[in-house]
Amino acid sequence: MGKVLSANLGYPRIGEKREWKKALEQFWAGKISKETFLDTVKNLRLSYLKKQKDIGVDLIPVGDFSLYDHVLDTAVLFGLIPDRFKSDEKEISLETYFSIARGSKNFEASEMTKWFNTNYHYIVPEISNETKPYLTENRLLNLFDEAKKELGIVTKPVIVGPVTLLKLSKGYEPDHFNALLDSLLPLYVQVFQELKEAGAKWVQIDEPILVKEQSKEDLAAFTKAYRFIKNGVPDLKLLLQTYFEAINDYKDVIQLPVDGIGLDFVYGKETNLASLKAYGFPEDKVLAVGVVDGRNIWKTDLKATLTELQTLLSSVKDHGNLWITPSSSLLHVPVTLSNETALDPILLNGLSFADQKLSEVVTLAEGLNEGETAIDGTLQKNSADLQTLQQSEHRNNKEVQKEIDLLDEELPTRPGSYKLRRQIQADAFNLPPLPTTTIGSFPQTKEVRQARRNWRRGEWSEERYEQFIKDETAKWIQIQEDLGIDVLVHGEFERNDMVEYFGEKLNGFAFTRFGWVQSYGSRCVKPPLIFGDVSWQKPMTVKESAYAQSLTNKPVKGMLTGPVTIYNWSFVRDDISQGDVFNQIALALKKEVHALEEADIRMIQVDEPALREGLPLKEDKKAGYLHDAVYSFRLATSFVNNDTQIHTHMCYSEFDEIIDTIDALDTDVISIEAARSHGEIISTFEDFEYKKGIGLGVYDIHSPRIPSVEEMKSYAERALKVLDPNIVWINPDCGLKTRRPEETIPALKNMVEAANEVRKELSDTVEK
C-alpha cells in the first residue's frame, strides 16, 4: 500500500517582493543586459523550486515559471507565432517572444484576453489554416535538466495540453482543427520522449478547457490526442489536469488513456463528488484532488477537508493513487504571508497564501498517511483561527445586513428612458459628433509614484501631497485642452490602483503589503481583501473631481470602479453569497455617486472591466451571475437625474455572449476595446442593434507603440458601418496609467486627429 502524495500544480512567478517584475522591466528598459536578466530569473526560478522542496511537497512542477505567459510559452515552443513576427530562424529569439506579447515598433502585439474566469491574462496564439507547427527548442527539457542538476529535484514538467491550446487560439477555420491537432501531437510526443529519456516520471498536461461544455467531436479529439501521446511515450506517466470547475463529461474523461486525472474539489466540488460517487474511479489511475483553494486566500478548513479526503480514499484502490493538490496553479494567489506584519491578527490568522497553501497540502497528506493525531495541534489552531474570524465584528455589521435585507427584488430603474435622457444630455453637454475622451487614468510617472511613497511614509505632509496632486491634475487638464479632447478626466494621480483606492476608503476591506499577483506580463496587482461587511464612510472622489471641473468649461467625468469589478479583482470572503457582497459594495458606491452628483459632476463613469471575467464557466450558472451583476450596477447608478450621464468601461470582453447584459446595465455610454482584437469585437454589433452610446477603444494602450492616425481611423470607420454615428465616441481602449507621457500625448494627438478626420468625412457625406 503506497502513501498519499502531495503535489503542486504551479507556483507564482513574481517573487516575494516582485523581483521577477523588476528584472523584466529593467531588461525592457535596457538597464540590465540580456545575460544579467537571464541569470536573475534563473536564480528566482531555482529559489522557488527549493522553497517547495523545503515545505515538503512530493511532486514539484517545472515549466510553470514563465518570462511572460505560459500560453505564449507553449505557442512559441511549437513555433505557433503570428506571421508578422516570423523570420528564417528556427529558434525564436527572446526579443521576438517579447514583441509578440508587447508589440514592436513595426508590429502590433498579439491579442490578450482573460484566462478562463480569472484576472490573469494570456496571449492568444494566432494560427492560420496553413500553419505548420515545429519544435523550436525543448524548453521543458531544459528546465527539467536545470532542476535536476542544480537542486537534485526530479520535477513534474507542466504544459498546456494540445486541445486547450488550439481551442484558445484564433485565426484558423473550425474545420482545420483536426488537421492542426494532428500536426501538433507528434511534437508533444517528441517533447515528452526527450523528458522521459532525461529521467522524468510524470508530466502534467493542463486541459482546463474540459470544464467547459464539450461536443462529441471535442471528446473524440481528446481521445485521439491522448491515445496518440500515450502510444508515443508509453513509459511516461501522464497527469491530465483540470481546474476552475467540475468536468461535465466525467464518464468519458476517466476512460482517457492517461495515468492520472486532476479534479477541482473547491470550485467544482459538488459536481465532481457526485460524478465520483455515481461512476467510481479507475483503479489503475491516480486521482489528484484539488482541495486547497488555488484562487482565494483563506485558510483551508483542515478538519472538514480531512474528513472529505478520508471519504475520497475509498475511491482509489491504493493510497498511492491519491494526490493532494491545490485546486489550480497558485499563480492566482500571493506568494507568502511571511512578510505581512501589519495586518489585524484576527484577519492574518485566517489567511493562507501560496507557501501556506502548500503547507496545507503537505499537512493533509500527512494526516491521511499518519493519522489525525499526527497533525492534531495544527487542526486545533486552524479551527480556532477560522472561528475567531467568523465571529468578529467585521463580519457582523447589523446596519449593513439590515440594508441588504430591505432590498427589493425588482431591478432598480432610471427615472427616464434612454431616449429621453439622450436628448436631455445632448442639450446639456452640446458635444460634437464622435466626441473624444479617455478612460480615466493618465501616466503614473516615477514622480507621481515617488510622491505617493513620500506621503505614505510621512516624509511629505498631507498639504504638500495634495498640492502635488492638484498640480498634476491641472497640468493634464491643460494637456487635454490643448489636444482638443472633448470630455476630460482628472487623471487619477491620487490613486494607486482602481480597486485598492476604493477599498482603502471603505469599511470591510483590508490590504496586504506584499500580496501581489500577476495580471498580465509584468503587470502585478495587489488585490484588496474583502473580509468583512462593506460600508461607505465619506466621499472618496469628490474633492479631486470637483477641483478638475473647476479648471475647465468642458465636462470632467467622475471616475468610480463598479461593484462587480471591485468584487472580481479582490480576494473575497466566502461565507456569504456573491450577490450579497455585490450589493454591499453597490450600496456604498451609491452614496458616492450621490455625492458626485451633489457636487455638480454630471458625467460619472462606473467602470466594470471585470464583469465578463467573473462569468461562470458553466452555462447553468451564468444567468444568476449576470442578474446579480446588473442588479448591483443599477443599484449603484439608477437613481441619478436624467441630465447625469452614466458611463461604464469594459475591456477585452467577448461581447456577443453578454451583449444583452450590457444593454441591461442601462448606461448612457459604454466604452470597449476595438484595437487589441484588431476590430473583431465590432462584429458583435452587426447582429445586435445597440442604441445607447458606445466608446470605441481605437488604440491599444498595453503596447508602447504609438498608433498612426490612419490605423485609428480604420477602427472607427469599420465601426461606423454597423453603428449609428450619433452614438459613437472615440477613446483609447483602457486607462493610460502604465504608459509614459511621451507615448501618451502623441497617441492622443493622433486619436483626436483621427476623430476629426472621420467627423469631416461624415459631414461631407451628409452635405452630399
523 annotated as ligand-binding = yes
Half-sphere exposure of 438 (CA within 13 A, CB side): 30
Q: Which residues, including other chains, have CB under 8 Å from residue 445's CB and lie 6 or more apart? A: 740, 741
461 annotated as ligand-binding = no
Contact in structure between 64 and 140 (CB atoms under 8 Å)? no
763 annotated as ligand-binding = no
Q: Whole-angstrom Cα distance, residue 583 to residue 628?
A: 8
CB atoms within 10 A of CB 311: 11
Q: Whole-angstrom Cα distance, residue 396 to residue 391?
A: 7
Tell me how far the alpha carbon of residue 34 is from its chain's centroid: 28
21 annotated as ligand-binding = yes
SS3 202: strand
375 annotated as ligand-binding = no
Burial class (CB within 10 angstroms; exposed 0-12, middle 13-18, buried 19+) of 222 = buried
607 annotated as ligand-binding = yes
User: How would you label 429-446 residue by residue, b for 16+ Cβ within 10 Å and e otherwise?
Assistant: bebeebbbbbbbbbbbee
Q: Both ends of the chain: CA-CA distance in Å?
A: 86
245 annotated as ligand-binding = no
Q: Which residues, including other chains, have CB under 8 Å from residue 21's CB and lie 6 or more apart? A: 14, 15, 522, 524
490 annotated as ligand-binding = no
Q: Whole-angstrom Cα distance, residue 519 to residue 525?
A: 6
Angle between helices 177-198 and 139-151 (to 10 degrees): 20
55 annotated as ligand-binding = no
524 annotated as ligand-binding = yes
Q: Which residues, including other chains, have CB under 8 Å from residue 145's CB and lie 6 or more apart? A: 198
CB atoms within 10 A of CB 687: 9
Q: Whole-angstrom Cα distance, residue 734 to residue 722?
A: 22
Q: Whole-angstrom Cα distance, residue 428 to residue 622?
A: 38
689 annotated as ligand-binding = no
18 annotated as ligand-binding = yes
Out of 70, 490, 647, 702, pick the active-site residue: 702
522 annotated as ligand-binding = no
651 annotated as ligand-binding = yes
Give yes or no: 702 in active site: yes
Phi and psi based region of residue 244 (left: phi greater than 0; alpha: psi -120 to 50; beta: remaining):
left
Annotated binding site for 5-methyltetrahydropteroyltri-L-glutamate, which residues?
Answer: 18-21, 114, 523-524, 569, 613
List residues with catalytic annotation: 702
Annotated binding site, which residues?
Answer: 18-21, 114, 439-441, 492, 523-524, 569, 607, 613, 649, 651, 673, 734
Annotated binding site for Zn(2+), which residues?
Answer: 649, 651, 673, 734
